[in-house]
Amino acid sequence: MEYNVHTLPNGIRLLHVPAASAISHACIIVNTGSRDEPEGKAGLAHFIEHLIFKRTEKRSTNQILNRLESVGADLNAYTTKEYTCVHASFLNPYLDRTLDLFNDILFHSTFPEEEMDKEKSVILDEISSYLDQPEEAINDDFEDMLFAGHALGNNILGTTKTVQQFTRGDVINFIKANYRTNEIVVAVLGNYTLNKVVSKGSKHFADVEENNPNKTRVKPTILPPGNTTIYKPIMQAHCILGTQAYSTHQTQKVPLMLLNNYFGGNGMSSVLNLQIREKYGIAYTIESNFSPLSDTGIFSIYFGTDKEKQAKALSLIFKEIKKLRDRPLNDLQLQKAKNKFIGQIALGEENRIGLIISMAKSLIDHNKIDSLDTVFEKIDAVTTTQMADVTHEILDIEQLNIFTFCPIEE
């Protein structure tokens, strides 16, 4: 897909993606997330993402929330381990309004104490709600084990203790230390010329004060594999197996993405779904996932099943891993896996808000954006030997961490 990049004097980059549609999509992404939080401040990046909607120098909370919704637009935000993102979908005439709001909430929020207190209560409720969903909570506990002692292991929401202790000073200091203007991308996908996007982007972001403090991320060490079981008052057993994997900068990322999709990724025809769910019917949900980060990655397999079937499910997963290690994909199997993965990526392009966010992240991570043809070429170039190498390195049963939520015995 065609795109253009314009860098403002303060380092903020404007990403323009032309698209013939009446609906436009925009986002502003900051290269900071929960892994950048100081020790003892888990949840601070997410807390800030909430607070920016509460009051600015010129708008109240109601005015912020109604600024785009009043014209039928959708506004939202999220925080990850490495990013903070605000995004919106809107009718074409409202580009100026959208970028103005992005600027206002990201760079002119006031963080009043009374709003902080209210939002702490909201997030504490969010934490409680999250803990009531074992299929969600187990991911955080697994990553806490995988990255023990490192900020990557922290829950993005934080903990009850850390959230209660946040101060206005914590918020301001985190923004100063991490909202680096040369690591901020404002991206627009819509029926606009490059000149219009540059003009509107410059109008709203050129005056943002340049801020480029030194920031280094500490790469996590790889710890010996662990096996942890926690007993909870739940109906089903939930289990995650996994390990640290490749970063977004490593070439092995592509064959692992392909392997993940084949083994337990999207669709009902993955190996794990066919063998564990369809053939034996012992797990309603079973899937694998690969999440590359800036200096490491996470590969995991998750399943939920009745407590009595947990051991059988694990045994079958290990059987499929061993089968894949002993008998790597042949040329025909690999080509089928490529065709499936390429088709899914192509269909994913229809999700335009997801597309523009993905492109903005790529610009931050790699300082470039691969075309769809280039992505397909990289997938097509994967060989059976590369797949076998990645399979043996990542799917090593002896090196997999295992984390389980098990129902309390009556």
**In this predicted model, what pLDDT tens digit does every residue of 306-321 receive, in sequence order?**
999 999 999 999 999 9
pLDDT of residue 308: 93
To the nearest whole number, what is the mean pLDDT of the chain? 96
| End position of a domain, from candidates 205, 236, 265 | 205
Name the residue among 393, 357, 410, 9 with its Cα closest to residue 187: 357
The dihedral region occupied by 75, where left means phi > 0, alpha psi between -120 and 50, and beta the remainder, is: beta
Which phi and psi (to 5°) does residue 119 adopt? -75, -30
Residues 108 and 71 in one domain: yes
pLDDT the model gives residue 215: 85
236 plus 168 within the same structural domain: no
Query: What single-letter amino acid sits at 239?
Result: C
Q: Are 217 and 179 in contact (CB under 8 A)?
A: no
Domain assignment of residue 350, yes or no: yes
**Complete DSSP assignment for 42-56:** TTHHHHHHHHTTT-B
Q: What is the pLDDT of residue 343?
A: 96
Is residue 74 in a domain?
A: yes
Residues 137, 10: one domain? yes
CATH label of the domain that carries residue 401: 3.30.830.10
Same domain, 81 and 36: yes
pLDDT band, very low/low/confident/very high, at 267 (cuts 50, 70, 90): confident
Cβ–Cβ < 8 Å for 168, 48? no
341 with 265, same domain? yes
Residue 300 lies in a domain: yes
Q: How many domains does the chain have?
A: 2
Neighbours of 202 (CB within 10 A): 15
Specify whether 239 is located in the same domain as 121. Answer: no
Summarised one tens digit per residue, pLDDT across range 133-191 is 999 999 999 999 999 999 999 999 999 999 999 999 999 999 999 999 999 999 999 99
Q: 95 pLDDT exceeds 80?
A: yes
**174 lies in the same domain as 282:** no
Regarding whether 260 and 398 lie in a shared domain, the answer is yes
State how far the Cα of 251 lies from the Cα of 155, in Å rounded to an integer: 29
pLDDT tens readout for residues 100-144: 999 999 999 999 999 999 999 999 999 999 888 999 999 999 999
Task: Please give the residue range of the domain that contains residue 65.
Answer: 4-205
pLDDT the model gives residue 410:
62
Q: pLDDT tens digits for 195-236?
A: 999 999 999 999 999 999 988 899 999 999 999 999 999 999
Residue 299: pLDDT band with limits 50, 70, 90: very high
Whether residue 177 is contained in a domain is answered as: yes
Among residues 152, 171, 205, which one ends one of the domains?
Answer: 205
% of the chain with per-residue pLDDT over 70: 100
Confirm whether 369 is domain-assigned.
Answer: yes
For residues 48-69, average pLDDT: 96
Residue 20 placed within a domain: yes
Average pLDDT over residues 85-96: 98
Identify whether the C-beta of residue 101 lies closer than 8 Å to the C-beta of residue 64.
yes
Q: Are residues 27 and 161 in the same domain?
A: yes
Same domain, 332 and 393: yes
Of 205, 237, 256, the last residue of a domain is 205
Across residues 15-23, what is the average pLDDT?
A: 96
Pull the structure tokens for residue 157: 């929401």
Residue 356 has pLDDT above 70, yes or no: yes
pLDDT digits (tens, 9 = 90+) for 375-388: 999 999 999 999 99
Same domain, 147 and 239: no
Question: In what side-by-side order are the strands of the sheet with 297-305?
Answer: 227-232, 401-407, 237-245, 297-305, 285-292
* Residue 409 pLDDT exceeds 80: no
Asked if the model's pLDDT at residue 8 lies above 90, the reply is yes
